[in-house]
Structure 1
Amino acid sequence: MKNDVAHEMLKTNPHELICTPEFQQSILKIVRKFKQKGGFSQDSEADITQEVTTRVLEQRIHYLQKNYDPKFGNLKQYFEKMVYNITIELVNASNRRQKVHQTMDMENAPQIATYSDAKQELILDELQKVQKFLARFQRQKPKLLLLMKLYSRTIIKPEDILNFKPTATSEEIQEILATFGKNYATYDDSYLYSKINQLINEVEGKTNSSEALRKWLSNRLTDLNVWMNRHSSLKYDKEALRNLIQLFFMKNWIIV
């Protein structure tokens, strides 16, 4: 794409510009470099690319429109510098989240947090909103809860498996728990989805790919994100939503 054409699109239709294959490829190229260097060990390239795109469109597009000048050089190169900085922010956030998982077992030790009564009420209210959202998926709720645990890297328990597959044998349960019954925060997304997809396909009688399963969950999480932002006074992005899901599954947390 010629620079003058891209610049005109930036001024008149920036969302369309960022979503063009050429600019999406620029994002993917940078994401892939970070993945190759060990960043984003938990997330797929597609998820990270989508997250970067969302941040550009929601938080940085006006900055880009206001500050880019053709005298600075090629727009795509200017854009890629912005994407690089956003990706660094996401890597740092991902690393912080991973360290938390490595240093604490949320399922085995009570989590004690000190909150004011107002904050306690706010947290409980947010968790109730998640409950109301899940109530909309009664038929698929066991599947959704199982995958939400995977997404948030929360330890899966035998009852989670039995809720989804009541006929699961002890051998089947132990095979699944060999991966998901302990801290699995450092495992790659593709590996985890391929493991859980075997169970999902067996119960549903399908032969769907693990990527199709990941997309199914991604759509449900998008629905949850929209639901929370619509019904809550708080603002949820991907990171905040993941934290909320982690909190939702903390069965023995204590607020004092």
Structure 2
Amino acid sequence: MKRATPITDPKHIVITGATSGLGRALAIGYARPGRMLSLAGRNTARLEEVAIACQSAGAEVHTVTLDVTDAAAMEAWLAQSDSARPIDILIANAGVGGAAALAPPTGEDGPQARNIFSVNTVGVINTVIPVTPRIVARGRGQIVIIGSIQDSLGVPQSPVYCASKAAVQIYGEGLRRLLAVQGVGVTVVRPGFIDTPMSQSLAMPRPFCWSPERAAEKVINEVRKGAAQITFPWPLRLFLGLQKFAPVWLTDFVIARSMRMGWAPPALPDPDEADQRRSR
């Protein structure tokens, strides 16, 4: 039975959410002579800064400013990118988190919840689906989905965020098993805290926080080996593994205690102020 073969020397890498944080570090980490990088993001200025850094390392770089929630735009861009040069590694990295994903005391409202799922879950689908038939036809390629270590534990700080990442993790697992026999690999990355502007927006402890460069190096090395799943850092991985065997009351107790020690839910905004923000 045919199995996925790792892409050890990719010639074309596509990365969404490449303007900062892990996406930026991955782009720079992959940049070298003979490689083509197709980078997408929502901030044109920051995207160009990343492109310049990658070009300085010798890579050919193409950028596009778009939103992963725009399915038609994503499909058109990915088709164009793959036609220019067959995509070897596709990295679905774009996501929303940090303070934007925190739940107020009464839980996320409709617009916030739908936005989180639109970006974190539907955005991944919009990235993966247009490319999948093409790489399956070639019998070669690697799909990398950036999820979160919070996909296995619903924390009170961000219930919808955890659910959006859980959906991505299950999607990636199923897709990996579906495509492996076609020679296509799928890797789900489950990072803990990475020192990015998104995580820096959190007014709470960030245990075992990694630099973007360290995280990118880990991802690149493991993807090269064809890893099915990449989870880091190991202390959080160990805790989340153990909590699956712990009684629910014990997990609830530990989480409640950690909240009292270092995290408080954001205050509810004034209704008039919230309406003004939505109207802008």
TM exceeding 0.5: no
Q: Which has the higher helix share?
A: 1
Provide the TM-score with structure 2 as the length reference: 0.25
TM-score by length of 1: 0.27
More strand by proportion, 1 or 2? 2
